[in-house]
């Protein structure tokens, strides 16, 4: 295998490992509810994805598609095949973590929506109580101005 091809495959593994690490951290931030930190992490993740996309364009001529639509390293030495297997494994792990993270984010969004709905209900109940105690025109004032 050409040295530059080996370097491209090594870079692909490195980028996928970095992406996997970022996704793992993303999952932790979602779990902890640290949304400000999450925004910075998503920017870093976007950068890695852009680098990976550029690299994939360089690797495209070296690949063929198998009947099932998966990339094959036909004609490349065993090292490329092993590297591609590692990349597939990393990609599967990344996708699984992304699914988990999405599920957690959706659950968190629902929790927040429910909490906001509860606050709105409390506010309405408080306003109704005040209206019965002080009348609608005084809305909570303890004494009227003379």
Q: Cα 122 to chain center, whole Å?
A: 33
Mean pLDDT of the chain: 83
CA distances (Å), origin 29, targets 34, 91, 99, 107, 136:
5, 21, 15, 14, 46
Answer whether residue 144 shows pLDDT above 90. Answer: no
pLDDT at 135: 67
pLDDT at 146: 46
120 vs 2: which has the higher pLDDT: 120
CA–CA separation, 116 and 95 (whole Å) = 31
Answer whether residue 73 shows pLDDT above 80. Answer: no
- Give CB contacts under 8 A, 24+ apart, made by 31-39: 31/104, 33/108
pLDDT at 95: 95
* Per-residue pLDDT tens over the stretch 104-123: 989 988 999 999 999 999 99
Answer whether residue 3 shows pLDDT above 90. Answer: no
pTM of the model: 0.68
CA–CA separation, 93 and 27 (whole Å) = 13
Helix pair 35-59, 3-32: axis angle to 10 deg:
160
49 vs 68: which has the higher pLDDT: 49
């Amino acid at each position: 295998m050409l040295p530059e091809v080996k370097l491209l495959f090594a870079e692909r593994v490195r980028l996928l490992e970095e992406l996997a690490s970022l996704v793992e951290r993303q999952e932790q931030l979602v779990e902890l509810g640290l949304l400000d930190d999450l925004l910075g992490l998503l920017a870093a993740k976007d950068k890695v994805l852009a680098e990976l996309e550029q690299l994939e364009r360089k690797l495209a001529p070296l690949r063929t598609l198998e009947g099932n639509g998966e990339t094959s390293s036909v004609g490349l030495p065993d090292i490329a095949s092993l590297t591609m297997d590692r990349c597939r494994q990393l990609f599967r792990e990344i996708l699984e973590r992304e699914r988990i993270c999405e599920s957690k984010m959706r659950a968190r969004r629902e929790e927040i929506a429910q909490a906001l709905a509860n606050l709105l209900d409390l506010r309405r109940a408080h306003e109704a109580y005040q209206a019965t105690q002080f009348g609608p025109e005084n809305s909570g004032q303890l004494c009227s101005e003379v």
